[in-house]
Structure 1
């Protein structure tokens, strides 16, 4: 592996480039469709448009299925294959598997989204209890997820074959190569888990088995791993962007970076217990263990955050950066990919702070069925993961096509607007959750019977959602412009060479300070949650349950 990633991707065969472009293009289309569904739900909850409950739940299903499953995992497959091909520099070693996996996901997407357009809305977990009278629709919906699972086995297998071919030539994994190998393995495990969770529903729908009694428990486990897997992918994207856009590698060395990526395999799977805090028969000891284990789920992400921020700060100070935050101005913020990654890091801090409140065994039963969940969750799904994946595509697609982003001057401001909208959406959503606003209803005003403050907060949610959706749409269209536009890609932005030695005694202060602020925020969000919920009437506290 030598030279910038952009140069290595530009030399791939036409067949490999077509595959990566097709996967990325379809992922962007699904992303835009999912955004549309989410906007409709937000406007309906605020009372700005009238939707029948069934139509609202259908939009919610299309939003969740499109964004959480097909956008997040199809784009992961595209990025994984692109970075794996870049590691070897000689194309995809298992391109047939890549094409097969892409075809399986396309077929699965047609089934799942098609089944979600009519009949009983199944939401995104495909619970057989909701389709007791429509087994055929459930069979199609869940079969789509099974095909997605098969695709999540085939595509990473192509990435693994490509990475192993590179290792045979070079002799060892680079830090990024090892991270990609771990990521591919995690994707394949998630694919098998999806088949395990959704196959019983298909068998029941076909009359070949009993209706699954433990679907909810199995779903919690697979959801947990699939929820944190994109975060691991996000950290890998940050590593790549740090090297390719800025020109800086980790000051801690490749070996330590490999340990951090391996930590995801250690810390993430055992911490799924907190998703089961609403189970009525969950023993108290298990609840306590779940809370304690969940404290560790952010360890690898925060460690990677420290490595990246410290590496950037040390190299910036070596080039004359002054003051506690003055060095930040030296980073290439005019690059849309850099701007997106920077705001993704900021949004991750908000998400971790709020997630800490939700993993408390005493708070989870009060918050899990309230709007707190979508309020905090969008800081991860949109503000961290989706922004980072769009940043990756903004780097990868111009290299594959030779065409630049559409509206690059506007695109670099979209992460700012996305975060602004997200702060309104997420802040109002979290406040609404603390006040007992349920999350699985379309009319949050309950025909005028709900407290007036609920409607006001849902108005902020809708307004923030509109800003966020508009900014993300512009960014996604800008990235898609490199697939169909005519503007030539820039040769290369100015990059640091990453070799200037740090000044003697140069310190990296912002990373540790950021972690300290996050920890303080975690305790603050938890304390606020307990105090707010205690102050609510019993009726308000229980309002969210059962929705």
Structure 2
């Protein structure tokens, strides 16, 4: 049992990331509650607080801070669990990464709270924030690189200590996710340091808006998979162990992660389908690459449901769907990720709509897109993170997941699912009717127009209230798991590969090959569009190109 427990020093590092993430969840949740009441017309913001100020707090803290800190906390624990205790240097790098990330977060959040950076989480130019906001976000990116490097060192060290052995699947997945994150954040960090930061300091007169948006979306869509792949880690590795089963195929899991890395980064132009200045052929190419991610998604669905069915058959289930009865529905560690899996079915279908030329014209810049985000990150990803927390926090604190805490976790999961169903569902419907995103009730263009969607805005307020109650319940559960649950050992579940699974081909671990292919795809997808944007940039007042 002791060999399965993460070293205390690594547990402290992982907990630091996770507690920072949950703090962001609470503050961002408060901002989200305020936001839905303002949108419904039930609340007017006092003390000169702006709607876009609240919206920026909600977006930045939940979409960027909560997710990034949780992921690096989870991945730190995961690497320590399957590849061994971090070395002193690796752990120091982890703490340095945490310090740089948290410092950057405080800098950016302070500017938002002072209403000096109400630019939403996309921070599109020509909206301009205080330079400290851009510097803070840059530090978050750089700090995450340091943390990712620490995890990469642990992976490399394990390979040196275990030559000719296949690496633990979970560690392979962590490296894939960090590789994708590093490549994706190069573009947005370039935007921040080369364009937006000098612009906000007054060093340059203007910036090329199209280039800045292109650099952002080279990161913005890969960000979705940076959220999603850790959820996949839980689905592939932890959930089979929780239900008493085994991983269906190690090779299939590795292949799906490699495909996600290859097809999640060079696809950002599908977020810019309505923008001039980018050739239609290049947009179409990236739409094709975007649709390719359906393949690893279907591979994952097949692998997971094969695991569920095989386990059900082992327990004596009969019939086509008899195995469903054998799944541990009373275990919050299973129920939360499973509902997240189901939510990803309509979430993925909505993603196909967003990335399609013709259908995108209907829903572009409507609240449909917001509803889609709340199905993917706020339901699929967040519910899976909640489920992971129910084994991760007790493991890291040396406490037990009691029956009472598990029961509260089930209630919290159901509340979250109901609240998100109401809120996201009403957003999708209102979006099809033309309701705009990023707009408050008073900005719809008059009371008569606003009344068109008032019922859906009220539904969003109801759903948002239920979600906030679920956040408060989770915070209560978190405090119980941190301080009051009885001492004991709660395992970090890591499933074994099924006996029938075929041997994993060595090529799947050849990162040199996959990195070369990834770079080639990036050059094909982005080199000419970016060259075209820069070469055709307008002249500034001093006669230089605005690039």
State TM-score, norm by structure 1.
0.84
How far the C-alpha of 1:326 sits from its partner, in A, is: 2.4
Corresponding position of 1:173: 167
What SS does structure 1 have at the residue aligned with 2:441?
coil
Take 2:481 and 2:38, find their aligned partners in 1: how far apart are those partners?
34
Task: Show CA shifts across 1:274-303 (max 9, x none).
Answer: 111120233333343343332222321231
Q: Which residue of 2 aligns with 1:274?
A: 270
Q: From 20, 38, 42, give the equivalent of 1:26.
A: 20
* C-alpha distance after superposition, 1:79-125 (max 9, x if no partner): 11110111123345600110000001110110111010123512112
What is the count of residue pairs matched by the alignment?
A: 490
1:383-402 to 2 correspondences below 5 Å:
383-402=379-398
| C-alpha displacement of 1:499 | 6.5
Bigger drift between 352-361 and 146-155 goes to 352-361
Tell me the TM-score normalised to structure 2 length.
0.84
Q: Does 1:62 align with 2:61?
A: no
In 2: Cα distance, 1:73 partner to 1:492 partner: 24
Aligned in 2, Cα 1:288/1:448: closer, same or farther, shift over 3 Å?
A: same
Contact 2:238–2:494, Cα closer than 8 Å, also in 1 = no
Secondary structure of 1:449's aligned partner = helix
The residue aligned with 1:352 is 348
Deviations for 1:438-496, whole angstroms, at most 9, x for unmatched residues? Answer: 11211166442216340011111111121123223323441343223343356569999
Q: Which position in structure 1 is the counterpart of 2:79?
A: 84
Cα contact 2:124–2:213 (8 A) shared by 1: yes
Q: Deviations over 1:336-377 (max 9, x none)?
A: 121111111011112011121111212223312111011111
Cα distance change, pair 480–153 in 1 and its aligned pair in 2 (3 A): farther
Change (3 A) 1:247 1:438: same
What is the aligned counterpart of 2:235 among 238, 243, 262? 238
- Verify: 1:127 aligned to 2:124, yes or no: yes
Deviation at 1:128, TM superposition (A): 4.2
- Change over 3 Å in CA distance of 1:108–1:318 after alignment to 2: same
Please list every run of 5 or more consecutive structure 2 residues that lacks an aligned counterpart in the other structure: 502-547
1:92, 1:159 within 8 Å by CA — same for their partners in 2?
Answer: no
* Cα shift at 1:255: 2.2
Aligned to 1:409: 407
Summarize the alignment of residues 26-425 of structure 1 with structure 2, pairs less than 5 Å apart. Answer: 26-51=20-45, 55-92=50-87, 94-120=90-116, 121-131=118-128, 137-170=129-162, 171-199=165-193, 200-213=195-208, 214-252=211-249, 254-405=250-401, 407-425=405-423
Distance in 1 of aligned mates of 2:252 and 2:190: 34
How far off is 1:437 after superposition? 0.5
The answer for unaligned runs of 5 or more in structure 1 is 132-136, 503-547
Contact persistence 1:9–1:400 (CA under 8 A): no
Tell me if structure 2 keeps the 8 A contact 1:28–1:71.
yes
Q: Secondary structure of 1:194's match?
A: helix
Matches within 5 A, 1:438-477: 438-443=436-441, 446-450=445-449, 452-477=451-476
**What is the RMSD of the two structures over their aligned residues, measured on CA atoms?**
2.5
